[in-house]
Amino acid sequence: MAAAAADAAFVCCTPGCGKPASMVCPKCKELNIHGSFFCNQTCFKGYWSEHKALHKRFKLLMADVAAKARKPLDAATLEATGDFAGDFTGYKFTSDLRPGKVTPQMRVPSLIPQPDYALTGEPLSEMLEQRTRKIAVNTPEQIEAMRRAGRVARAVMDEASAILRPGVTPDAVDRVVFAGCVSRGAYPSPLNYMGFPKSVCVSVNDVVCHGIPDSRPFENGDIVNLDVTVYIGGHHADMNETFIIGDVDEESRAIIRCSFDALKAAIDMCKPGVMYREIGDVIDAVVRPRGFSSVKRYCGHGVNRLFHCAPNVPHYRRNKTAGALKPGHTFTIEPMINGGTEACTEWPDDWTALTTDGKRSAQFEHTLLVTATGVEVLTAPGVDKPGAKAPTTIEWNEAFYTRPGTPAEEGAGAASGAGASDASAPGAGAAAAAATAE
């Protein structure tokens, strides 16, 4: 990594030194602790025995915050502390799905680096970037940061999806996502993005996207999409997957499979030189013959230092989006497939998008890195396992996306996320012995 500029604003952490510093503690970098800089290796090694205590304190603090957040709220607490996210008086619902109550927003500890919208809700960096519409080419260092973010997003998704079953609430899923991010030193990107109140989008049945986690328990026969995005190391990784809860009807299964197949076909055609507008043609060729429709209102997008940026990636044919894939681009493809019309409506909460005809909708999304020969799927299943590399495609596995149709037994771990793997948690692995240039 390149050294910081000579006039760096950081000062050496070694007590009594006071010199300008550009060398970052590698363990702090691994844990996503910001601000631990040293002027040289002598200061770093001389202060190591005292400095390493910070790592332990940070991990204990984040584990404590995560443990408290992860505990699901009982029905009485949800009812007492929650409120509806919008005024539904007189609203004409398009299906039998109804909103539950939404609990107060949780806050990520300030020790964890956060995107610019975390406090204000306004992604100012994105707003400035939108004026250029230039597609960013990531440096090798940024690519490694994206790979890391992809691994964390995958691990958090697996933890959150593991608790899905009847009786579990979207609010409980949100708490698992929040805890999974915090325990890894990551920020859940949706939290307060443009004012979104929660850490994950949970979209059930005819909800197309952007469902706000609430108190309505999942039921046998539901299909549930979880949209997880994490911010770690200054970069975002974005993904979503749709899950089958118990006894789901065949049409819903077909919609889910169609969305997955459309995403896979799009991934498989991606390589340098392909035009971004061609992705929609490939998706349409999968969706249209099956009698379903691809939503036009929402699209894939660039993702890197910014949650959303150029390019736009429409999921329908004959679109006019600009640009060609180049090595170093990172972006998402996320086809939303409806069982009926592609048209969407919105609940009065100003977020939840639904099909206008009440038919069900399914979606899959991955963050992709363009390489010299194709793409890496940075958020694919298994990328968070030790030694794993991002694959170049995805494969359907219905069992992987299927969850039980019966409620968990009282006190069972499934309701709280207990027992979920934590292979990507911070602190796994020995501390590095030398500082590196930032």
pLDDT per residue of the chain (438 residues) written in tens, 0 to 9: 123 333 345 778 788 887 888 888 888 878 777 667 889 999 988 888 888 887 887 777 777 777 777 878 888 888 888 899 999 999 999 999 999 999 999 999 988 999 999 999 999 999 888 777 899 999 999 999 999 999 999 999 999 999 999 999 999 999 999 999 999 999 999 999 999 999 999 999 999 999 999 999 999 999 999 999 999 999 999 999 999 999 999 999 999 999 999 999 999 999 999 999 999 999 999 999 999 999 999 999 999 999 999 999 999 999 999 999 999 999 999 999 999 999 999 999 999 999 999 999 999 999 999 999 999 999 999 999 999 999 999 999 999 999 999 998 754 444 433 333 333 333 333 233 334 333
Query: If DSSP codes are grouped into helix, strand and coil, which group holds residue 340?
Result: coil
Say how far apart CA 438 and CA 433 lie, in whole Å: 16
> Is residue 235 within 8 Å of 145, Cβ to Cβ?
yes
Give the CA distances from residue 245 to residues 174, 203, 406, in Å, rounded to whole numbers and listed in that order: 17, 13, 9
Where, residue-wise, is CATH 3.90.230.10 in the chain? 101-407
pLDDT value of position 410: 55
Say how far apart CA 76 and CA 65 lie, in whole Å: 23
> Is residue 227 within 8 Å of 217, Cβ to Cβ?
no
Question: At CA 351, angle to CA 237 and CA 234, rounded to 5?
Answer: 25
Indicate the residue type of 344.
Answer: C
| 278 is annotated as contributing to ligand binding | no
With b for 16 or more beta-carbon neighbours within 10 A and e for fewer, the 292-307 pattern comes to: bbbbeebbbbbbbbbb
pLDDT value of position 74: 83
| 83 is annotated as contributing to ligand binding | no
Question: At CA 365, angle to CA 234 and CA 176, rounded to 5?
Answer: 65
With b for 16 or more beta-carbon neighbours within 10 A and e for fewer, the 139-175 pattern comes to: eeebbebbbbbbbbbbbbbbbbbbbbbbebbbbbbbb
| 238 is annotated as contributing to ligand binding | yes
Handedness of CA 156, 162, 166, 172 (dihedral sign): negative
Query: If DSSP codes are grouped into helix, strand and coil, which group holds residue 75?
Result: helix
Say how far apart CA 37 and CA 438 lie, in whole Å: 9
| 174 is annotated as contributing to ligand binding | no
Question: At CA 44, angle to CA 40 and CA 49, rounded to 5?
Answer: 170
Query: If DSSP codes are grouped into helix, strand and coil, which group holds residue 24?
Result: strand
Q: What number does CATH give the domain 101-407?
A: 3.90.230.10
| 301 is annotated as contributing to ligand binding | yes
Indicate the residue type of 123.
Answer: P
CA nearest to 414, candidates 244, 184, 159, 84:
159
pLDDT value of position 414: 40
Task: Return the H-helix or E-strand segment holding 156.
Answer: helix 140-161
Task: Return the H-helix or E-strand segment holding 243.
Answer: strand 235-245
Give 399: exposed, middle or buried? Use CB within 10 Å, 0-12, 13-18, 19+: exposed
Handedness of CA 347, 353, 357, 360 (dihedral sign): negative
> Is residue 319 within 8 Å of 333, Cβ to Cβ?
no
End-to-end CA distance of the chain: 6
Give 250: exposed, middle or buried? Use CB within 10 Å, 0-12, 13-18, 19+: exposed
pLDDT value of position 121: 96
